[in-house]
Structure formats: structure tokens, C-alpha cells
Amino acid sequence: MKLGGQSEVGKIESLLVKHPRDGFINQGNIDAQWQKLNYLSCPEYEKSVLEYEDFLGMMKRDGIDIHFLPVDDNTGLDSVYVRDPVAITPQGAVLCNMGKPDRRGEAKAIGKFLTGIGVDILGRIESPGTLEGGDIVWLDPKTLVVGQGYRTNAEGIRQLKNMTAEFVDDFVVVPLPHWTGPDDVLHLMSFISPIDVDLAAVYSRLMPVPFRQYLIDRGITLVEVPDEEYDSMACNILAVSPRSCIMLAGNPKTKAGLESRGVEVREFAGYDISRKGCGGPTCLTRPLRRKE
């Protein structure tokens, strides 16, 4: 399979997802896991399925080729957030070593599936290195930004840099803040979502000053997410194509800021499938190929 994941904004042509029917399984499974996995509250299975179908329908209408991960006994509820266990490069997939121990089985499951559909595996992040996909952002095909925090450590970053050295010219490491501590999830993409090559939604209060200035110097316009919309995941936005995106409903100020810059915004509820597990539309998807 031809890959083309070294963009966050090119038109999605092929996509990897995991339906909550295959990740959440049923309400009993959710009840047994959600507290251990640090969910904000217990998702309701039926509502999660309905919300997900709405989200999925938006991408199906765009004609995206969608690949569904199957049930796997070595994975849990978090496996619906398929962005984190794998990164996509032009030379193959990089299987991550998750910083969250309860998610360590996901990369192996994804690797087996990707191999089965003809995706080359470029490499695997080995312990003591850790790396999660939510800490990886392509700004262009030659510029890779990686957040270093509680989920992605220096050794994992070193391994990724070595794997991508042949095709990445600018490898940028962004130190992440402590925020609410190691038990919570804070990725690089917790405070930036690229919308186009020259536009991104950001929550600047969490951004290191040098990284924010770096984006501005590259000519990227920043749409600011207000404080009152950060917890409702206004900064977790999936660009389906340049200036066309999907975000969680209930964030009117961020939506208006995007629309004022010519962005087409579609919304889905995402209360049970996203907010309770802190995994928005980018987390629910792993683009395998975007239009170059």
C-alpha cells in the first residue's frame, strides 16, 4: 500500500480507525476498565456507538478508504484512539512504544493488521524509549515536530529521529509542560491542530514560547482556543483536507474563529466517545495516505 502520512492537512484518502464495537465491546467491558484508564467518567456504550457512527458518516461521505481494526484481546478501551500507537512515514509505519503502560499491546496489534493490508513497517520504538502518535506533527513533508513529555521520552525521540533521518530535514523537539501531571494525557496535539499549511488552532497558554514563535516565523496563522473551550476539546480538530475539518460540538468561539478564516467546519457530539476518554477526532483516526 502506498503511504502518504507526512502531512496533517492534505486530503485524507486512506484511513485507519477502530470502531467502539471492536474497542469498547460492551458496557460491561467499559465498566471494568474506565477508572483504571483514568477516564473522566464512564462512557455509555450505546451513545458511544451512535456518536461514532455520526463521525464515521462524515468521512464516508468524503469518499475516504477506511480500514477497520478488529477486536484484539491484548488491547483495551483506549484502542479506539488509533493515532497514538503508530506513526506513518513515506517509507513505512513506525510502531510506537506507549508511555501509558495499559496501552502497550496496541502497537503489536496494529502492526499485525498493517502488515496484512500491505503496509511496510519501517521500525519499532524499543524500551526504554517511549513514543506516542499524539506527540508527532508533520508541518510539511520534510519537517517533523515531536513533543517530549510524560508519554514520549528522549530515547523514543532519538530512535524516531534515526529512523526518519533520510527524509526529514528539520526535526524539531518541543518540551511539554507538567500540566496536570504524569497520570493525565498531554500530547503535543493537545495544544495544536494544523488546519492548513498556513493555519492552526492552538491553545497558547500551554505552548512553549520558542515553539509558538517558530510557527509564527513559518507564516502560520494561529486561531486561539479560549480558556472556556479547552476542556471541551476545541483544540482537538481533524483536518480532512486543507481548510475543511471535523471538531467536537459545543465550541462556538473556536468554530467561529476558524470559519472567519474560510474554514469549513463540521461537528459531532463526541461526549461519550471523545470527552470522557480525552480522545477527540484526531485521536480517533490514523490517516495512512493524504493527497500530496
Q: Kindly list the structural domains of the chain, giving each domain's residue range(s) and its CATH number in brackets, ordered by start.
A: 12-290 (3.75.10.10)
Q: Which grid coordinates are listed for 183?
A: 497520570
Amino acid letter for position 213: Q
Whether the per-residue pLDDT at 106 is higher than 90: the answer is yes
Whether the per-residue pLDDT at 93 is higher than 80: the answer is yes
Find out whether the peptide bond into 128 is cis, omega within 30 degrees of 0. Answer: yes
Q: What is the pLDDT of residues 54-83, one digit of tens each?
A: 999 999 999 999 999 999 999 999 999 999
% of the chain surpassing 90 pLDDT: 96
Residues 6+ apart with CB under 8 A from 252: none
| Residue 182: strand, helix, or coil | coil
Whether the per-residue pLDDT at 213 is higher than 80: the answer is yes
Q: What is the pTM of this model?
A: 0.96
Q: Which grid coordinates are listed for 64?
A: 475516504
> Which helix or strand (DSSP H or E) is residue 45 part of?
helix 45-61
Beta strand residue intervals within the chain, DSSP E: 12-17, 65-68, 86-89, 92-95, 121-124, 136-140, 143-148, 170-175, 192-196, 199-202, 221-224, 238-241, 244-248, 264-268, 286-290
Q: Tell me what the mean pLDDT of segment 87-106 comes to.
A: 96
Read off the pLDDT band of 147 (50, 70, 90).
very high
Q: Indicate the average pLDDT of the chain.
A: 96
Reported as half-sphere exposure (CB side, CA atoms, 13 A), residue 147 has a value of 26
Which one, of 197, 199, 141, lies nearest residue 6 by Cα? 141
Per-residue pLDDT at 184:
85
Per-residue pLDDT at 199:
98
First to last CA, the chain: 15
Reported as half-sphere exposure (CB side, CA atoms, 13 A), residue 53 has a value of 7
Q: What is the pLDDT of residues 232-271, one digit of tens each?
A: 999 999 999 999 999 999 999 999 999 999 999 999 999 9
Residues 6+ apart with CB under 8 A from 257: 201, 223, 224
